[in-house]
Chain A
């Protein structure tokens, strides 16, 4: 399956590689992609339609009943909500939809930042080698050795509380960056082994030019796979930190926080809708990213595959 890159340029290389073809024949990956696109549509819809302030504020004291079951269950009272209401009489349906926006937004920020920083570090480490490589990669190795959620917890303890979800984002960026650095460094080293980089350097190309024009495009595929797999992880970890009380601030319609309130308020009384719907959205979204990521990894050139964990 190895690709002999006869063609030049990112597009040509993409077209020539069996990566896209394999990806499309992999039905699970297509299912994953559909889920992600659907969730993105939901997120944008919620962002445009609903007002965050209204979703966050308590509705107690209005005519809406608190902890009302989903409207399609049992006898219908005057006002019904599709997913029921929570302990503060807020509409779980609207909040779950808005949760998609928050999850994708903060997931993108987390993964985007760690990808950018990791790619930078990895390529620099691979290209310059020697002491630079050692200092960067060994530091990354130590960070990688810590259990992810526990490292994030310890980091969260350092940051001031009023940062809210940003506290979780920064902690997770520090946790994920080493993975990208490692993948990119591995991929970049393989590109550097190819002779044409030597040839371009011999022809007088300067450092940044070689890095951007030749190494970066060739490492795009493994970076994309790692980002996709990490996106699922980021969403689940952000929710976990919110669930544990170190993420979103009270009232925010984030899935993790809604689940934590659901456990607090509805577990023993059997009000399952408090935790069922936000968790369902969360699990489906994460599954979407994992399906796509897995499919992409299978479609990836085997030489690049072993760099990804």
Chain B
């Protein structure tokens, strides 16, 4: 947990997480924007393509959010159970959380990207 009385550490804490989500966000922005533009070229209907791409973005975002909270919820349990059962697996809560944070960023990016492109078109 971050300590609020400690600015450098807080900045570090936030920056690390922002980078993780941000990398996903950028990819999502591009994907969402291109997706909407491409879909519109194909169908000729901005409104429906925006709706489809936006919904896909919401799906990815929601999926990531579920996975993120899920890995914290069950993460330690899974790690301990695998250790307990002697199963060799390199599943860790940390990896799972990070992958899901990226996915969340990506989903958010798609939603923003499609909204911006649809507004421009």
Interface residues of A (CB under 8 A from B): 131, 134-135, 137-139, 141-142, 145, 186, 189-190, 193, 306-307
The CA-CA distance from A307 to B91 in the complex, in Å, is 13
The interface residues of chain B lying within 8 Å CB-to-CB of A139 are 63, 67, 99, 103
Interface residues of B (CB under 8 A from A): 63, 66-67, 70-71, 74, 85, 87-89, 91, 95-96, 98-100, 102-103
The CA-CA distance from A193 to B89 in the complex, in Å, is 12
| Nearest chain B CB to A197 CB, angstrom units | 15
The CA-CA distance from A135 to B63 in the complex, in Å, is 12
The one of B63, B71, B87, B96 that contacts A306, using a Cβ cutoff of 8 Å:
B87
**Is the pair A145, B70 in contact by a Cβ cutoff of 8 Å?**
yes
The interface residues of chain B lying within 8 Å CB-to-CB of A190 are 88
| Nearest chain B CB to A203 CB, angstrom units | 26
**Is the pair A135, B102 in contact by a Cβ cutoff of 8 Å?**
yes
Interface SS of chain A: helix
**Is the pair B66, A142 in contact by a Cβ cutoff of 8 Å?**
yes
The one of B74, B87, B88, B100 that contacts A138, using a Cβ cutoff of 8 Å:
B100
The interface residues of chain A lying within 8 Å CB-to-CB of B71 are 138, 141
The CA-CA distance from A189 to B98 in the complex, in Å, is 22
The interface residues of chain B lying within 8 Å CB-to-CB of A134 are 95-96, 98-99
| Nearest chain B CB to A139 CB, angstrom units | 7
| Nearest chain A CB to B15 CB, angstrom units | 20
The interface residues of chain A lying within 8 Å CB-to-CB of B91 are 137
Closest B residue to A306 by CB, please name it.
Answer: B87
**Is the pair A142, B85 in contact by a Cβ cutoff of 8 Å?**
no
Closest A residue to B98 by CB, please name it.
Answer: A134
The interface residues of chain B lying within 8 Å CB-to-CB of A137 are 91
A to B CB contacts below 8 Å, 6 in the list: A134-B95, A135-B99, A137-B91, A138-B103, A141-B67, A307-B87
**Is the pair A189, B88 in contact by a Cβ cutoff of 8 Å?**
yes
